Amino acid sequence: MSAVLVVRPSSLGDIVYALAVATDIRRELPASTIDWVAEPGFAPLIGMCPDVRRVIPFNLRRWRRRLGERATWREMRDFAHGLRQTRYDAVLDLQEQVKGALIARMARGLRHGFDRASIREPLATLGDDVHHRIPRDLHFVARCRRLAGAALGYAVDGIPRWNLHPPVDATSIPGQPYVVILHGTSRDEKLWPEEHWRALIEHCERAGYASVLPWGSAEEEARSHRLAAGFDGAIVPPWLSLPQAAALLARAALAVGVDTGFTHLSAALRTPTLAIFCVTDRARHGVACAGSHARDLGDAGAPPSRDEVLAAAGQLLRVAPD
């Protein structure tokens, strides 16, 4: 039996893509066990994957703010103890940053990471024992899968698969077919014009679909209400936890979103998904890697037009299963 530790503490979209390695590992090495180091806020996502045995919480953000408190040092000690409970056959450092290298160095086992030509922060290579050259221009999910395959001795084949099981949470699910509108993002340059979103909501309403506009901040909540104004079929839900948002996405007829973690999660859940790219490279970050149910529109410096998105949304709704 192989014991594997995955180091990928953040962020949401990257953890989604990295979780494809858990499915690969369990398929190729069925007797293996997989542990995962992640920030506590992402633990519920990883908990949806039965291929992962346990999540080891790494609360760096809180520790930085409270370094003078005894409780912080106790939590850090408990983290180090939990990390060293198991001797791993392979430690997969997928973070590409110094913080990931420091975590890997604390673990017991042979540490695998990207080499200096492949990694985002070359200094982080000092934390690994074995370095793998994986082309940087590949999609992140392909990079993770190749590194895991090289470390554990199996060939990566086919499109990525995710073994994710969101909770059954009827409280966040509308009683009619619906489309999820994922307009929010932490980077303003990724935003798509509000008038385009309203055209999409109108398009969905005419086709008989409700539009659900989840939000994660006060600014996004205000935008959701602006976009929904005047539409009978537009729903602005209360704030949703990560599991509730996953349950909402898993049952949607379609999700349309900018380049953000929940758009990537939707594609991993095999929901028909349309991703809108305005400033980021869709070849490296797009959802189309998940299969024919997911499409990318636009690219860095070339956001898609309203008509392009409406046409693609209509096509995905027509081919989506009832």
* pLDDT score recorded for residue 66: 87
Instruction: Write down the CATH superfamily of domain 3-152.
Output: Glycogen Phosphorylase B; (3.40.50.2000)
pLDDT, one tens digit per residue, over 190-214 is: 999 999 999 999 999 999 999 999 9
Element (H, E) at 7: strand 3-7
Whether 170-319 and 3-152 are alike in CATH topology: the answer is yes
Q: Which helix (H) or strand (E) holds 318?
A: helix 306-319
What fold does the segment set 170-319 form as a domain? Rossmann fold (3.40.50)
Distances (CA, A) of 70 to 63, 78, 227: 11, 12, 46
The reply to whether the predicted model has a pTM over 0.75 is: yes
Q: Where are the domains of the chain?
A: 3-152, 170-319
* Four-point Cα dihedral 201, 204, 208, 211, nearest 10: -50
Q: How far apart are CA 155 and CA 133, in angstroms?
A: 15
- Reading the chain (322 residues) residue by residue, the pLDDT tens digits are 689 999 999 999 999 999 999 999 999 999 999 999 999 999 999 999 999 999 999 998 888 888 889 888 898 899 999 899 999 999 999 999 999 999 999 999 999 999 999 999 999 999 999 999 999 999 999 999 999 999 999 999 999 999 999 998 767 789 999 999 999 998 999 999 999 999 999 999 999 999 999 999 999 999 999 999 999 999 999 999 999 999 999 999 999 999 999 999 999 999 999 999 999 999 999 999 999 999 999 999 999 999 999 999 999 997 765 4
